[in-house]
Structure 1
């Protein structure tokens, strides 16, 4: 099922972002155009995947009445987008970062379990 593939890909990206955050190499100049271009090139595919994931997840929830609320999907997308930026710019405390990380991971796992139970 496509939603499972999307979710697993996003989980891989989530772990990669966490590693990037843990390395703790913020840019020396937040206005550095080269750094911005590098971040943009690295994150655009993830943003696209996230948009597809959200659309598909919301349609599955609407059709199947699984145990994930639509607001959780929307919030997860927003939180993942925050993690994308915080991972590169290292502009948030570790505790806050980990709260976002765990929240996103929880919904990804919850959705995977719900889809698995549906089959």
Structure 2
């Protein structure tokens, strides 16, 4: 359970950093630039790994009834977080939609942290 809280806390911090990046950065000049793609892939790989680890820890905690969320919420949050990661670098989504993803992710993160 403590592991789930630690992972969630780390992801919340990353989510805030991604949000700042989205609001303060300009979109890349060429979204098909292989160098930029390599850069994004290298920078985001640890986040994706952390997200996979978080998902597994949460699903185990759900099985043990340590947290009170549904497996579908974990899966959906992981998918939304993956979208946020990419949209934070490519900045190719409207602000309202971006913030909707953020709110959805934060809702589940807060549910986990409250238990």
What TM-score results when the alignment is normalised by the length of structure 2?
0.95
Give the match for residue 11 of structure 1.
Answer: 12
The CA deviation at 1:89 is 0.5
The CA deviation at 1:23 is 1.1
The CA deviation at 1:33 is 1.2
Give the match for residue 60 of structure 1.
Answer: 61
Equivalenced residue count is 114
The 5 A counterparts of 1:12-51 are 12-51=13-52
The CA deviation at 1:24 is 3.2
Give the match for residue 93 of structure 1.
Answer: 94
The CA deviation at 1:66 is 3.3
Separation in 1, partners of 2:81, 2:33:
23
Separation in 2, partners of 1:26, 1:95:
17
The CA deviation at 1:100 is 0.1
Separation in 1, partners of 2:67, 2:6:
18
The CA deviation at 1:65 is 5.8
Separation in 2, partners of 1:66, 1:104:
16
| Bigger Cα displacement from structure 2, 62-71 vs 26-35 | 62-71
Point out where structure 1 has 5 or more consecutive residues left out of the alignment.
115-119
